[in-house]
Structure 1
Amino acid sequence: MNSADRGTGPGRLDRYRARVFEERRRLRTAFADPAGHQRRVLTDLLEFNAGTEYGRAHGFGRIRTVDDFRRAVPVQGYADLEPWIERAAAGADGVLTADPPALFFTSSGSTGARKKIPVTPRFMRTSFFPFYYAAWAPLIEHFPEVLDHPDAVLNLKQDPLSAPPTTASGRPHVGASQVDFGAAFGEPLAAEPGTGARWAALPVPVDPDAHLEKTYLRLRLAVESDIRCVIGINPAMVAAVPHQLNLWWERIVKEIRDGTVGGVPHGEPNPERAAELAGYADRHGTVRPAQVWPRVRALFCWTTGLASLYLPRLREEFGPGVTLLPAPVAASEGPVGVALDRHASAGSLVVTASLYEFADADEDLGPDTPTLLPHELEPGRDYHVIFSHVGGLYRYAVGDVVRVVDRADGVPRLEYTGRATRSDHAGERLRDGHVVRALRAALDATGLEVLNAACRVGRRDGTLAAYDFAVAPRLPWSEDETHRVGVLLDAALGRESAGYRAARDQGRLGALSLRTLSRDAFVTDWQRSVADGVRPTQVKDRIFRQDPAQWARLTGTDEETRP
């Protein structure tokens, strides 16, 4: 295979740009007839997979309409499909899909479970790649210099494995960031920006599970490069970078001066760059990404949820003119929305990728839950996402909640608000979105800022349930400010959730407590999780933290002395 076939030869960037913009054009064209494309997606998945065990069991060959499909297939989650998936993972053919899965994606790790998400060639070709290329259009269009050289992008989520774990049938069972799409699916142009950087394949031996050391080594190499863009997808990874620079600064500077990486000689010593970098800390007492990489132009990550509270200030750490671009609304199981312009948070529904259904996020999902189609969604409302695609997931409740921001070009634009999981100890039925919006209201009313936040349910006097909140203020708060934010937050939660308001009014839930932590508390906790062996992409912001040991580690408190 020659270099042009691998997508690395002359003209590769021109072909890449052309593909990105063409996929965005096709998607925008599809918006002229979203209902028609939804029908075609359904027809394709039914016809292609009619002969599978699942297709025969659910009468795919007799289904003609969405209503037929709803009657034949229940709304379901991973646990419902797991027996079918496990058989496919063990090597059985024709279980869920006509074409065998080429690999299995792991879940993102939000629940700690390692799901096996089947990934078929047909799914990648018809559902994944068109959306995937289009997702990069705003970055490539407005910041073309990020492609000028391989080391221009620090892609924090890239984590290739030389020996990936496998299922019982020998197929890779990995995260999407660990897959070489070119090799696996014949898509040589599919390499993300930054995956060709010199730190993509680390030049020194390192244990594959030593995630924190791998993070250090990539940052050590990137510090000597002219970074223009940082890609994190998971914003907690981006938020960790300023902390990591300061944490590892002396080691980084020494290794640059000595010409080593991880203590191993690599390249030439660079005393000039080392002296330049050392000067930043000497003059300012701290180091900021904007000093190390003064020409950063964009950050690419999720911009909603808890991240919406801290990203404006985090952006400033990378430079006053840096743009935040939202990563797609998507899961390991499939795409939902993709930003086709520079909207701050929302992505257009990918009507060509899956058949989409939605349900009111405040309702519990069940097999017979009534669902809405895209044209029935209302702006300003939160919904469960349910999708069906040719890759073997049928009426699959992915567990994410999205909010309809508006409608553009005939389709809803959606932003991710959090997981569908509720905190419900006294009938309050709180979701991520409730808490984030309540926090924002309390902070806006006081002019205060936080770098992250979390909560759990504790007990007052050993009996009454009540929420304990922990926040990391950007600047220290006075006792009066802390008290006022707590009062406003309690009231805002009541406005967001009727269940919370009723539980408080009826005395089933006590008044919340609010404690402030150090500004580095959450990123330090993130570092500990990565040091414990969790992949950085899987260590996400989490609002609800009910595990006593994890709460004690975050807050630095003894569980026996909690209020």
Structure 2
Amino acid sequence: MKAAAALTNGLWLGASTGAWVRYQRALTRPESTQRDVLARLIAINADSAYGRAHGFAKVRSYEDFCRRVPIVDYDTLEPWVTRIRDGESNVLTDEPVARLVPTSGSSGARKLIPFTRGLQRSFNAAIGAWMLDLVRQYPSITWGPAYWSISPAISAGAEESAAVPIGFDDDSAYLGGIRQRLVEATFAAPSALRLAADTDSFRYATLLCLLRQPELRLISVWHPSFLTLLWDALSNGWNELVADVASGDCQCRDAFPAEVQPLLGATPSPRRARVLEAAGPSEIAKLWPGLEVVSCWGDGQAGLPFRDLQKRHPHVAIQAKGLLATEACISIPFAGRHPIAITSHFFEFADAQGNTCLAHALREGEVYTVIVTTAGGLWRYRLGDLVEVDGFVGATPSLRFLGREGGISDLCGEKLAEPFVTHALEEACRRFHLAPRFALLAPEVGENQNRHYTLFIEGDFPAALLPHLDARLRDNPHYAVCRELGQLKPVHGCRIAADAYEIYCRVMSAPGSRIGDIKPRMLSTRTDWRSHFRRNA
């Protein structure tokens, strides 16, 4: 098993060496690298409908590009995407669109993102550099299988007809070709598990596959709560899981389509079952003694459950992912920071005054919103993510995700922004030594039109947390005035017993999207969260 895993991982890493070398060199020269990326994208797409409409053939510099091409959001691009969906070619790119990938917007409305071979190469450039850097830090992860995020399918409902396929079956399809096959060969659990009829069966089968892999070395998921929910399910089905490891069977086989059921069986392993029985469900280090790295989101709303995961795994490296979206890869974990993926796409950044600048001109400590141009046909696309520069790798800025742009809640003039709320919540949780898996602040309108904010939090918390958080929110002068005038009542609390993030994802998901598509937030402008958490509890 070790030799086979090492061989397969070695082949994939070998295919990624070029990406790592190019990225390592580019980090010292971000300006010229980015201008080369832009020139290449303009040249190869000049004959697209979008390129002709905006005079790509006459673009000779970044300044020309800015004059001719406007900064856009998805609503502006949607008519162009609709033309692609209806079967028209050469719309946003000269290259054919292989798929339209669904993702969720801030309100849950679906967006369809064009995916081309060029965009696939861009993702490979970033992921290859990240993985080779990871192996350089933790060489032993190549000696065993890995668990890569598998999101259970979210029902898409009846899919309307489209000339271009919509969606990917699983995340490994982003890599494509030989890289996809090599990665799938190292999976500790087959991606077909996403087809489970219900979440409990999905978790059971996933745990069963993982327990059958004593040499598990790497776990890569999106939100840290995804993993802690898996570990919680260990205790609930422990005896059945151990029995299935011993027999090679799977007790939830019938919850999967017939074509998936053969994948759930395995060679009986009484010896492994005895090891598991002796360890028990709470000793993760004994279940997988070779587990070395867990990769997951660690910024924004994921910061608190990220620290909870660190406490659960004191002997495992918990690596915060970079900023990766369906539309583009913005930053990657590399050399201990999260530098911009400058070899993958062309980036611009808008500051608080609306001025745009290129990657090499960013200043440490400043906050920007991301604008990206990709090989998939997103031209000066305002991604909506707010980032802070927290340092540099070479001459390339490293970014920390703060939250979503426009995440302003304003019931009566308080103007609470997501980065501010995130900071206040994190400080309050540190004050009371809490690391909740899920925490979300949202406005509510109660009886007699009483307005207040409610902290929806998974698990127990001390009563003193709420007035402390309210005091921190008063650091915002607009919120403080609203509280003094009685327009806003003190912060309320709502305890959620379990599965809060899962419920959040169900509410926020667009048809056809997956859990990994949904970016976590610490502030919502919705006023109906209490009903959703009650209904789905």
TM bucket normalised to smaller: 0.7 to 0.9
1:27 to 20, 23, 39: 23
One-letter identity of the residue aligned with 2:327: E
2:55 to 51, 59, 63: 59
Structure 2 residue 204 is the aligned partner of structure 1 residue 199: no
Residues 58-100 of structure 1: per-residue CA shift (max 9 Å, x gap): 1222222323322322221111101101111222111110111
Alignment partner, residue 230 of structure 2: 241
Alignment partner, residue 356 of structure 1: 347
Q: Is the 1:52–1:94 contact (alpha carbons within 8 Å) kept by the matching residues of 2?
A: yes
Alignment partner, residue 366 of structure 1: none
Deviation at 1:140, TM superposition (A): 1.5
Q: For residues 277 and 414 of structure 1, what CA distance do their matches in structure 2 show?
A: 41
Structure 2 residue 463 is the aligned partner of structure 1 residue 482: yes
SS at match of 1:386: strand
Deviation at 1:534, TM superposition (A): 7.1
Q: For residues 331 and 251 of structure 1, what CA distance do their matches in structure 2 show?
A: 37
**Higher mean Cα deviation, 243-252 or 386-395?**
243-252
Residues 385-426 of structure 1: per-residue CA shift (max 9 Å, x gap): 111123210110112111211223112100112222332322
Residues 217-259 of structure 1: per-residue CA shift (max 9 Å, x gap): 1221211212222110332322322112123323323323443
Structure 2 residue 262 is the aligned partner of structure 1 residue 277: no
1:356 and 1:534, CA in 2 relative to 1: closer, same or farther beyond 3 A? Answer: closer
Q: For residues 403 and 131 of structure 1, what CA distance do their matches in structure 2 show?
A: 20
Alignment partner, residue 156 of structure 1: 149
One-letter identity of the residue aligned with 2:493: L
1:387 to 369, 372, 391: 372
Alignment partner, residue 5 of structure 1: none
Identity score, percent: 25
Q: For residues 141 and 393 of structure 2, what CA distance do their matches in structure 1 show?
A: 28
Q: Is the 1:165–1:174 contact (alpha carbons within 8 Å) kept by the matching residues of 2?
A: no
Deviation at 1:190, TM superposition (A): 4.5
One-letter identity of the residue aligned with 1:330: L
One-letter identity of the residue aligned with 1:492: R
Deviation at 1:370, TM superposition (A): 3.3
Structure 2 residue 239 is the aligned partner of structure 1 residue 250: yes
Alignment partner, residue 3 of structure 1: none
2:309 to 311, 314, 325: 314
1:191 and 1:530, CA in 2 relative to 1: closer, same or farther beyond 3 A? Answer: farther
Q: For residues 487 and 198 of structure 1, what CA distance do their matches in structure 2 show?
A: 45
1:36 and 1:61, CA in 2 relative to 1: closer, same or farther beyond 3 A? Answer: same
**Higher mean Cα deviation, 95-104 or 286-295?**
286-295
Q: For residues 124 and 207 of structure 1, what CA distance do their matches in structure 2 show?
A: 25
Q: For residues 534 and 122 of structure 1, what CA distance do their matches in structure 2 show?
A: 22
Q: Is the 1:105–1:332 contact (alpha carbons within 8 Å) kept by the matching residues of 2?
A: yes
1:72 and 1:398, CA in 2 relative to 1: closer, same or farther beyond 3 A? Answer: same
Q: Is the 1:30–1:352 contact (alpha carbons within 8 Å) kept by the matching residues of 2?
A: yes
Structure 2 residue 125 is the aligned partner of structure 1 residue 130: yes
Give the aligned length.
Answer: 519
Alignment partner, residue 145 of structure 1: 140
Residues 481-531 of structure 1: per-residue CA shift (max 9 Å, x gap): 423x22332232343x4543454455543322234444x353674698799
Residues 427-455 of structure 1: per-residue CA shift (max 9 Å, x gap): 33333322221112122334444332112
Q: For residues 47 and 250 of structure 1, what CA distance do their matches in structure 2 show?
A: 61
SS at match of 2:416: coil
1:188 to 161, 167, 178: 178
SS at match of 2:97: coil
1:120 and 1:11, CA in 2 relative to 1: closer, same or farther beyond 3 A? Answer: same
1:530 and 1:299, CA in 2 relative to 1: closer, same or farther beyond 3 A? Answer: farther
Q: For residues 132 and 160 of structure 2, what CA distance do their matches in structure 1 show?
A: 33
Q: Is the 1:457–1:466 contact (alpha carbons within 8 Å) kept by the matching residues of 2?
A: yes
Q: Is the 2:503–2:536 contact (alpha carbons within 8 Å) kept by the matching residues of 1?
A: no
Name stretches of at least 5 consecutive residues in structure 1 with no aligned partner: 1-7, 364-368, 559-563
Alignment partner, residue 257 of structure 2: none
Structure 2 residue 393 is the aligned partner of structure 1 residue 408: yes
1:119 and 1:401, CA in 2 relative to 1: closer, same or farther beyond 3 A? Answer: same
Q: For residues 404 and 88 of structure 2, what CA distance do their matches in structure 1 show?
A: 32
Alignment partner, residue 109 of structure 2: 113
Structure 2 residue 43 is the aligned partner of structure 1 residue 43: no
Alignment partner, residue 299 of structure 1: 294
SS at match of 1:332: coil
Alignment partner, residue 561 of structure 1: none
Q: For residues 363 and 71 of structure 2, what CA distance do their matches in structure 1 show?
A: 21
SS at match of 2:21: helix
Structure 2 residue 500 is the aligned partner of structure 1 residue 522: yes
